[in-house]
Amino acid sequence: MLSSATRVQYDGRVIQFPALPPGERIVVSASAFVAFEQCPENANARFRGEYGPPSRPSFIGGLAHRLFARHLDQGPIAPDTFEQVCKEEIGSTASLNISMGQLGLKPSQIPGVVSEVRELYERFVKFPADGFEGAEVSLEVEPASDVVLRGRIDAVFDDAGTVRLVDWKTGRINEVDDQLGFYALLWDLDRGSLPAAVEAVSVKTGERQRSEPTVEKVTALAGRVSAMVKTVRAGWEAGTELDRVGGPWCTYCPLLEGCTEGRAATAVMARG
């Protein structure tokens, strides 16, 4: 079984990451890549350490993910200990602890949070766990000098000798092709072979989106990641902003207040 810290580097990679000229060190995650494809300057803000405000749904989702991993690794969580387990996870997970403070959640509001997470957990335990190999599996590779690709796979399953990667969602599944493709690329670069399948599974709605990576598709995505690195580095070197593109992602963007495109997009969404 894989542990969350498992990381093995192989030489038998299927995908060859494009060569890049030397440049400033950059760490690219799946979320940063997706953000860049939506709005380049939003991703650039992430690279500067600027993030949007936390939201209650993201806090609920983060806590639920910790419980999903705990369930897969350690077994079912007893109903009478559920609230205490939630408190333990909040206290021991830095991102949750910080978000709780930023959201201004009071101890009296915790039971409401626990109730929402419990609903998700009760749905989650109905999903089959046959072939489970590891939860929250961290991967990190450096396919080009000072270019680091990093990610964490929610769950890894062995399906009759083939690898299936799963990303749990706690809301509806929107556009996830780039995210799933990035995980396939990262897995290949780290483990030496493509996964047979990468899935996004909504615990809340039961939706499932499955991708079966091919060398052609993942090679093309590697080219897009490489192009992203070139664009971002060029902006850094020139000291200029990247393009801004309005869309649903603007709602929690740290640049929203001073962004014309973002304000226009959120105004349209507010009107329905």
CA-wise closest residue to 43 among 225, 188, 223: 225
Is residue 6 over pLDDT 70?
no
User: pLDDT tier at 7 (50, 70, 90 boundaries)?
Assistant: very low
> CA–CA distance from 113 to each of 90, 117, 228 (Å)?
11, 6, 38
The matching CATH number, chosen from 2.60.40, 3.90.320, 3.40.50, 3.40.1350, for 1-52+131-272 is 3.90.320
Q: By mean pLDDT, which of 27-36, 119-128, 252-261 is the weakest?
A: 252-261
pLDDT at 4: 37
Sign of CA dihedral 241, 242, 243, 244: negative
Please indicate whether residue 271 or residue 176 has the higher confidence score (pLDDT): 176
Which amino acid belongs to residue 126? Answer: K
Sign of CA dihedral 183, 188, 194, 195: negative
In this structure, are residues 47 and 26 in contact, taking their beta carbons and an 8 Å threshold?
A: yes
pLDDT at 52: 87
CA angle 209/136/194 to nearest 5° reads 55
Q: Report residue 163 as tokens.
A: 């690898």
Please indicate whether residue 142 or residue 252 has the higher confidence score (pLDDT): 142
Q: pLDDT, tens digit, for every residue of 147-182?
A: 999 999 999 999 999 999 999 999 999 999 999 999
Q: pLDDT, tens digit, for every residue of 55-93?
A: 999 999 999 999 999 999 999 999 999 999 999 999 999
Q: Report residue 147 as tokens.
A: 């270019």
pLDDT at 220: 98
In this structure, are residues 164 and 199 in contact, taking their beta carbons and an 8 Å threshold?
A: yes
DSSP state of 21: -
> CA–CA distance from 210 to each of 23, 91, 104 (Å)?
35, 34, 37
Which amino acid belongs to residue 53? Answer: P
